[in-house]
Every structure is written in structure tokens, then in C-alpha cells.
Amino acid sequence: MHNDVEKILFSEEELKKICQRLGKQITKAFEGQKVLVVGVLKGSFIFLGDLVKNIDGDLNIDFIDASSYYNGTQTTSHVTISKDLSIDPDGKCVLIVEDIVDSGNTANFLVDYMKAKNAKDVKFCTLFDKPKRRQVAFTPDYIGASVDDNFIVGYGLDYAENYRHLPYIGILKESVYL
Ligand code: 5GP
Ligand code: MG
């Protein structure tokens, strides 16, 4: 385990099981339809890779970089896009794939954004949900697991761009950011 990690919250094996369950649910929900999977950079990159391997069907994959986060642990309601889609969502079934829904600002913004671009249908899948932290109402369609209000890293999730490569999800030691 990495020195800056207090505790492992989800092991590689548990994350694998989550991806298998979500992949099955999504396969069933979108049966017979082509899906444009949109990963939200950078946090979703490992999750998206593992998730799509468990989806049986026709997919296109794209990424968007949108966040309400600065380089710290505090959220803001202002969402910016720093890398836009390269595939036009017009008329498509879009599945947004996010690492974690916190205030709900990024998620709400992205769903509205896809609708404004005339997506036929927009669904939202998040690996983790922090429902107690919402500032705006938002309910993801697919959730890997709900978590308490700890700052977590690994499996794509960072703190100041570090720890994304860890194969598990860990709670960061407070001493790292205090
Ligand atoms: P929201 O707009 O819902 O407040 O922001 C969600 C984003 O905040 C996530 O995509 C993620 O980048 C970041 N975030 C929220 N909670 C955590 C956390 O516990 N750990 C990490 N690494 N990022 C988080
Ligand atoms: Mg994110």
C-alpha cells in the first residue's frame, strides 16, 4: 500500500466486481442500441477502460474534460470544459461515465450539455456517489457504490494529480493535504 494512503476502501477485486455488475446492467438497458460512451477526464480513465470490457453491444468511445474542481479538495459550482468531444452526440444514446458525483454540479452540467447537443437519450454512470454532499439535485442512473465523505484516491482519482495509478481506492492520510 502507498505510504500516503490511510486505508484501502475498495480492493482491485472489489472494483472488478463492480465493473462486472454495472456492465451487465448497462448491456441489458441499452440492448440493440448503439451507445456513445463519454468518459469524463481524467478521473474516469481506468474505470471506463474496465467498464467497457464488460458491456456487450455496439459502442463508440469519447472523452470530455469537464470539472468543477480546482487543484484541491473543494468543489465549486462553476463548470468548465477544457477538452470537448470529438464525436457529435446529435441523435445518439449517450452514456456519461464519471469517477465520482459529489456536489452534482459537473453531472448536471454534462447532462444538460449533451441534451443541448441533441443527444437522443442521456444516461449517467458513476463509479462512486457521495449523495450527502449534493448542492444540486442529481440521481445517477448507474452507481458503483455510495461512499461517505472521505477524500479518496486511486483507480484514476487524484489528489493534485497524484495517485491516479494506484490499482485500488484508498482514503488519503489527512496529513497529505492539511
Ligand atoms: P462535483 O461537480 O460533483 O462536485 O464534482 C465531482 C468531481 O469532484 C469528481 O469528478 C472528482 O473529480 C472530484 N471529487 C469529488 N470527491 C472526490 C474524492 O473523494 N476524491 C477525488 N480524487 N476527487 C473527488
Ligand atoms: Mg471528475
pLDDT in tens, 102-131: 999 999 999 999 999 999 999 999 999 999
102 among known catalytic residues = yes
Evaluate: CB of 69 within 6 angstroms of ligand 1.
Answer: yes
What are the phi and psi torsion angles at 101 (to 5°)?
-100, 125
pTM > 0.75: yes
Strands 5-10, 169-172: parallel, antiparallel or unpaired by DSSP?
antiparallel
Q: Is 154 in the pocket of ligand 1 (CB under 6 A)?
A: no
Of the residues 50, 58, 65, 102, only one is catalytic, namely 102
Ion ligand 2: residues, Cβ under 5 Å? 43
Is pLDDT of 71 > 90?
Answer: no
Task: Encode pLDDT of 134-145 as tens digits.
Answer: 999 999 999 999
Q: Would you say residue 53 has pLDDT above 70? A: yes
Per-residue DSSP letter, 134: -
**pLDDT band at residue 37 under the 50/70/90 scheme:** very high
Strands 121-129 and 142-146, by their bridges, are parallel
Query: Which protein residue's CA is at the shortest distance from atom 23 of ligand 1?
Result: 157
Asked if 69 and 101 count as a contact pair (C-beta separation under 8 A), the reply is: no
> Quick one: pLDDT at residue 177?
86
Instruction: Tell me the Cα Rg of the chain.
Output: 16
Q: Across residues 12-26, what is the average pLDDT?
A: 98
For the chain, report the end-to-end CA distance as a whole number of angstroms.
21
19-22 contacts, C-beta under 8 A, 24 or more apart: 19/47, 19/50, 19/51, 19/53, 19/54, 19/144, 20/54, 22/51, 22/54, 22/125, 22/142, 22/144
**Please, where are the H alpha helices in 61-102?**
none
178, pLDDT greater than 90: no
